[in-house]
Amino acid sequence: MAGTDPTRLPPDTVTGAPAPLIVLSHPQLAENVGMVARAMLNCGLVDMRLVEPQEPHLEGRAIAAASGADVVLHRAEVFASTREAVADANWVLATTARRRGQVKPVMTPKHAAAEMRARIAAGQKVAVLFGRERTGLDNDEVSIADAVCEVPLNPAYCSLNLAQAVLLVGYEWFQAGSDAPPCEMVMNETLPAAKDEVLNFYAHLERELELCGFLRAEDKRPSMVRNIRSLFNRAQLTEQDVRTLHGMVAELAHGSLRRARKLGIPVDKLHAEPMPLYTSAPIFDSAFADKLTELFVWRRDVRRFTAEPVTETAVTELLEQACLAPSVGNSQPWRFVLVEDTARRAAVRAAFAAANAEALAGYSGEKAQLYASLKLAGLDRAPVQIAVFADPDPAEGHGLGRRTMPQTLQYSVVAAIQNLWLAARARGLGLGMISIVDPAEVRRVCEVPEAWDLVAYLCLGHPEEEHADPELVRAGWQDRIPMDRVVFRR
Ligand SMILES: Cc1cc2nc3c(=O)[nH]c(=O)nc-3n(C[C@H](O)[C@H](O)[C@H](O)COP(=O)(O)O)c2cc1C
């Protein structure tokens, strides 16, 4: 039957722990007895006593009405009188719909439940008496009882059928012993998201709200951010919710642009405000210049990333910004390989581990110890990995500028990487540059022409932490050096 789990019978049923006896006096219909059995088992009650039932309690209609609770019917005992049925009970409760003028405590089912729990806990046997369907208990039966139970219902209409009456008393009995919390959030398999996952999502959302201009009113920003956060806090996000929300925000922010690119729709057609066409030179005011300095100060080589993915659109846009870099003869020799395949990533990771171990062997003493403690790559978590190569002989640029200094091709690629680095930081992403790898191995893993030079292997993602100083300074490896050591006049 729906809602039934036979492995989860109530503790009283399983352990045989004492519970009230339900005594039905002269029940008329087999169906009603079956329905009482069902109501009893709902409430963990299994001891039914029948006083002169008018139909056999194991007859087909009773079993059908019990709807799977026939165990109660099979255990039921039949007595010739009410007095015999309650003979071994220490306390008897009579259920009535109307006052009988007898001096007795009259209690609600809730109060009766507490009383029964206390008495049973003290070792007493308790019986609850229910009368025949049409007329209820007679006065003699009520007189046997120690207390009367009345269900507070609409005084103008309080007629209950037998099983309903048993259910109301049984329900209160069960509740009084149940440790079910009054309200509980059912999470199924998922956990509430950890606070730092939720905070990462807030950072993602707020960054995009900032970029799209929703948070442009500086003075209102703090309170708007607090309101948005408390809105999501009220939802008690699960881990899955947080993943879905990350995806939604990312798609809202960049999905329309990506689709437009795929479908060849001009991007400015997508926006009420057309995208700038860059036809006239912009004015970079002092506020921008200050921000730019901040960008230089806060750009970092990042080796620790969160699990938050980077959208495809963000990667495309960053690569477009990288390609705006200067290059010798405008040769644009940069070649970017997005390394997505798990096995290839693992091979790069192994190449890094080997090169790093070799590099460590080149140090000794304290320097070796310090080197070993440094984290020099974020390959384990970075969601985006890019191998950047220089084409040593691009047709573009027609050789201009590189006859005497062929390495300017690689310098040009470094300039593109620097663009990428700063552009990533400007949108809250972090970039880590790795050179501790065998370039031939990375070339092999990436299946690119033999002649291409590896310039760097990049890790891109959301940084776990933000710093205004390099990690190698903080780790005590190398301080920044003063300007007079690097600037000369002749
Ligand atoms: C050409 C180049 C190669 C680098 N290779 C690595 C590397 O293999 N592993 C690493 O952790 N950092 C590498 N870095 C990052 C530097 O350690 C980092 O830029 C420097 O410590 C200054 O820190 P900052 O970038 O946070 O200012 C490299 C940087 C450059 C420019």
What is the secondary structure of 314-380 as a DSSP string? HHHHHHHHHTTS--GGG---EEEEE---HHHHHHHHHHHHHHHHHHHHT--HHHHHHHHH-----TT
**Which of residues 213 and 369 earns the better pLDDT score?**
369
Cα 447 to middle of ligand 1, angstroms: 25
Q: Is the CB of 472 under 6 A from ligand 1?
A: yes
Contact 387, 339 (CB under 8 A): yes
The CA distance from 47 to 13, in Å, is 10
pLDDT value for 11? 43
Is residue 43 predicted with pLDDT exceeding 90? yes
Is residue 450 predicted with pLDDT exceeding 70? yes
Cα 363 to middle of ligand 1, angstroms: 18
**Which of residues 330 and 214 earns the better pLDDT score?**
330
Atom of ligand 1 nearest to the CA of 414: 1
The residue assigned the tokens 């007859």 is 59
pLDDT value for 157? 87
Q: Is the CB of 330 under 6 A from ligand 1?
A: no
Poorest-pLDDT segment among 62-76, 278-292, 316-330, 394-408: 278-292
Contact 199, 238 (CB under 8 A): no
Q: Is the CB of 376 under 6 A from ligand 1?
A: yes
The CA distance from 72 to 166, in Å, is 14
Q: Which of 386, 435, 466 to mutate to test the pocket of ligand 1 (most atoms within 8 A of CB)?
A: 435
Tokens of 222: 């703090």
Cα 315 to middle of ligand 1, angstroms: 21
Cα 199 to middle of ligand 1, angstroms: 28
**Which of residues 264 and 197 earns the better pLDDT score?**
197
Atom of ligand 1 nearest to the CA of 303: 11
The CA distance from 163 to 153, in Å, is 16
Q: Is the CB of 303 under 6 A from ligand 1?
A: yes
The CA distance from 158 to 181, in Å, is 30
Cα 459 to middle of ligand 1, angstroms: 12
Most confident of 175-189, 204-218, 309-323, 325-339: 325-339
Is residue 368 predicted with pLDDT exceeding 90? yes
Of the chain, the percentage scoring pLDDT greater than 90 comes to 73
Q: Is the CB of 431 under 6 A from ligand 1?
A: no
Poorest-pLDDT segment among 136-145, 292-301, 337-346, 454-463: 136-145
Q: Angle between the 342-361 and 365-373 helix axes, to the nearest 10 degrees?
A: 160
Cα 281 to middle of ligand 1, angstroms: 34
Q: Which of 433, 434, 472, 478 to mutate to test the pocket of ligand 1 (most atoms within 8 A of CB)?
A: 433
Is residue 12 predicted with pLDDT exceeding 60? no
Q: Is the CB of 453 under 6 A from ligand 1?
A: no
Cα 433 to middle of ligand 1, angstroms: 6
Atom of ligand 1 nearest to the CA of 352: 8
Atom of ligand 1 nearest to the CA of 472: 21
Smallest CA separation from ligand 1 atom 25, residue: 301
- Mean pLDDT value across residues 456-482: 96
Q: Is the CB of 119 under 6 A from ligand 1?
A: no
- Mean pLDDT value across residues 393-420: 96
* Domains of the chain, each with CATH number or no CATH: 6-177 (3.40.1280.10), 195-270 (no CATH), 286-485 (3.40.109.10)
Cα 434 to middle of ligand 1, angstroms: 7
The CA distance from 228 to 207, in Å, is 13
Indicate the average pLDDT of the chain.
90
Is residue 8 predicted with pLDDT exceeding 70? no
**Which of residues 322 and 212 earns the better pLDDT score?**
322
H helix or E strand, kind and range, residue 424: helix 408-426
Please write the tens of the pLDDT for every residue from 150-159.
Answer: 999 988 888 8
Smallest CA separation from ligand 1 atom 16, residue: 301
- Mean pLDDT value across residues 408-428: 97
CA 341 to chain centre: 27
- Give, in order, the Cα–Cα distances in Å from 184 to each of 180, 194, 241: 9, 19, 18
Please write the tens of the pLDDT for every residue from 233-285.
Answer: 988 898 889 989 988 988 887 776 766 666 666 655 544 443 444 556 778 88
Smallest CA separation from ligand 1 atom 18, residue: 301
Q: Is the CB of 300 under 6 A from ligand 1?
A: yes
Name the nearest CA neighbour of 391 among 415, 414, 421, 413. 413
Cα 452 to middle of ligand 1, angstroms: 22
Contact 297, 414 (CB under 8 A): no
Q: Is 386 helix (H, G, I), strand (E, B) or coil?
A: strand
Smallest CA separation from ligand 1 atom 10, residue: 376
Poorest-pLDDT segment among 198-202, 350-354, 454-458: 198-202
Q: Is the CB of 470 under 6 A from ligand 1?
A: yes
pLDDT value for 415? 98
- pTM of the predicted model, to two decimals? 0.51
Q: Angle between the 195-211 and 239-263 helix axes, to the nearest 10 degrees?
A: 30
